[in-house]
Amino acid sequence: MIPHPDPTQETLVLNMGPQHPSTHGVLRVLLKMDGEYVIEAEPVLGYGHRMHEKMGEVRSHNGFYANVGRMDYGGALSFAHGHVLAVERLSDIQVPERAEYIRVITTELNRVASHLLWIGAFLLDLGAFTPILYSFDDREIALDLLEHVTGARITFSYFRVGGVCNDIDEQFIEGTKKFIKRMRERIPMFHKLVTGNIIFRKRVEGIGIIDRDMALRYGVTGPMIRGSGIPYDIRKVEPYSVYPEFDFDIPTYDEGDCMARHKVRMDEIEQSLRIIEQGLEKLPDGPVMMEKVPKKVKSGPGDTFMSVEAARGELCYYLATDGTDTPYRMKIRSPSYSNLSILKEVTSGILLSDLVAVMGSMDLVIPEIDR
Amino acid sequence: MIATIKEIIGGAKSLLVGMSITAKYGMSKTVTAHYPFETLDITPNFRGHIDLVVNTKTGKHKCISCMMCQRTCPSGCIEIKAEKPEGAKKKQLVEYHLDFTKCSLCGNCVEVCPTKALEYSNEYNLVGTSRHDFHFELVERVVKRADAMGIVVVEEKAEEPKPEKAAAEAPVGDDNSE
């Protein structure tokens, strides 16, 4: 809905984007402003639409591996995890245990990298240039580790139906242990540098408050709902893969403001490190790919629904097949899309500079919204 | 009033804490590499565009022109031309055309290959001034790469395999390739 022109000329309509740096991509936000105050903010989508769901319906299951990474460049492995789990559930494929452990370890490493990317981008939105240099320093190590295993840095194409395509080696395990140790020292540094900083606190404390009721009404998920005090995490409420075997907590904060969401993500890095540590300890021996992988993964007529916890929230895949190796229908529920829907209500009546803070704290990945 | 003063002092302190971290890291070792002058090591597992595997014994590719890679490619970037010469039993690869502009590096072709004739190259510095620079002819590349690796190409004599010659030349090729 485009705001009506105002005959009294008290308000003005402002376009934020589609090329605005703090919209992290091609998102356009249509703002109705009264001076510096936002009356109404309307996200306009569709500038980067690439028909990923339709592509899933013309390509075989195997052909879709490359697409999942293009939807979420921050946490590509979570998206791949959801896809392979959905196909495996649909065609009753049993994955070797070692492969599931490797999937969880690499996905959590990717989640840490995604949150580090978010910290840098969020603070860049708020005008702080320094922290992105620190967070990208750490993220680079995580990406190097993942590159060593998967062969790519962002769009991994690593998980296969029936396992993973490469085994992890001693170099990866040693490097990951070093990375965990390093991150444990760096997190307090981030808290000193960022969380305690008075300018940062003034920008985010009490800004963009999402209360429990509003969060439930809009169906926001991930760190956003956990920042509103609801411990909703698919890894706990509907465990998949080998997550039930790990001991980890779901960090929640009751305030519901940008600061709470920042703290949730900082704590989640720590929890992901715990999962990786336990995963490396418990890592069983064995193959990483099931024996006799069919060249065409066929599944009988039927449908399935698989949800996983991506770095930004709940990610769901709905697959319906008619007995061929190509899905008849693929529906993806991506977390950022639902999280963005709350923008209009949460930003009415706030300052334009606070809108940037709210949008930053949502951790929007536009290719995942416009998929 | 007291609360305001406390906030000002606390705020100033938090800024000093942040500054001290910046100063500490400012004095420490540089973490970045100054690119054209220094380059970082690339992991051997890096997945560049696909290449045909060079057989270190014969200096030739292992492709049997079964077309599996062409059929499995979701983006349709592989085009194979194979011919069956007069009197020959098997099909022979004539052209292996890769359109790298379309490739999204999913790796399905490498995994589906029955003779393991495909591998990932380690080239990451790909740059060109036109899109035609990314159309690779892999059969030509095999010849060039075998030459660069110092492998003497063994010509196949019809109905007359010479294992002694191939075996004698193989170690030379192996040494040079490493």
| Domain range summary for chain B, segments of one domain joined by + | 1-31, 50-155
- Phi and psi at residue B167, to the nearest 5°: -70, -35
> Minimal Cα–Cα distance from B162 to chain A, Å?
36
Contacts of B106 in chain A (CB under 8 A): 62-63, 65-66, 157
In B74-91, which positions are buried (b, 16+ CB within 10 angstroms) versus exposed (e)? bbebbebebeeeeeeeeb
For A160, half-sphere exposure in the C-beta direction (CA atoms, 13 angstrom radius) is 23
Residue carrying the six token digits 């395509």: A165
Chain A residue with minimum CA distance to B106: A66
Q: What is the pLDDT of residues A291-308, one digit of tens each?
A: 777 777 777 788 889 999
> Looking at beta carbons, which residues of chain B come within 8 Å of A196?
14, 17-18
pLDDT at residue A7, as a whole number = 65
Enter the pTM of the model: 0.86
E strand map for chain A = 12-16, 28-34, 37-44, 159-160, 163-164, 302-310, 313-321, 327-333
The reported pLDDT for the residue numbered B138 is: 85
Across the interface, of B21, B31, B112, the residue whose CB is closest to A189 is B21
Neighbouring residues of B81: CB distance < 8 A, sequence distance ≥ 6:
B93, B94, B95, B96, B97
Instruction: Give contacts of B 73-102 with A, CB under 8 A.
Output: 74-75
More confident residue, A8 or A317: A317
Taking the C-alpha atoms of residue B53 and residue B30, their distance in angstroms, rounded to an integer, is 39
The number of C-beta contacts closer than 8 angstroms across A and B is 77
Angle formed at CA A256 by CA A252 and CA A258, multiple of 5 degrees:
105
CA of residue A329 relative to chain centroid, distance: 23
Which among B111, B112, B120 has the least Cβ separation from residue A151? B120
pLDDT tens-digit map of B80-103: 888 888 877 788 888 888 888 888
Tell me if chain A has a CB within 8 Å of the CB of B3. no
Would you call A66 and B120 a contact, using CB atoms and an 8 Å cutoff? no
Which phi-psi region, left, alpha or beta, contains residue A302 (left: φ > 0; alpha: ψ -120 to 50)?
Answer: left
Calpha distance A61→A294 (Å, rounded)? 12
Which CATH superfamily hosts domain A52-339? Cytochrome-c3 Hydrogenase, chain B (1.10.645.10)
CA distance A298 to A237: 30
The answer on pLDDT for B161 being more than 50 is no
What are the pLDDT digits (tens) for A116-131? 999 998 998 888 888 8
Ordered by start, the domain boundaries in chain A are 52-339
* For residues A188-196, average pLDDT: 87
Phi/psi zone of residue A17: left (φ > 0), alpha (ψ -120 to 50 degrees), beta? left
d(CA A367, CA A336): 10
Fold of B50-155: Alpha-Beta Plaits (3.30.70)
Q: What is the DSSP-derived secondary structure letter of residue B101?
A: T
Strands B118-120 and B135-137: unpaired
Amino acid at A307: S
**Between β-strands A302-310 and A313-321, what pairing exists: parallel, antiparallel or unpaired?**
antiparallel
- A134, closest residue in chain B (CA to CA): B25
- Residues B38-86 pLDDT 10s: 888 888 888 888 888 888 778 778 888 888 888 888 888 888 888 888 8
CA–CA separation, A166 and A172 (whole Å): 12
Helix (H, G, I), strand (E, B) or coil at A160: strand
Q: pLDDT tens across A79-125, in order?
A: 999 999 998 888 888 888 889 999 999 999 999 999 999 999 899 88
For residue B105, list chain A residues with Cβ-Cβ distance below 8 A. Answer: 66, 152, 155, 157
Touching check for A187 and chain B: CB below 8 Å? no
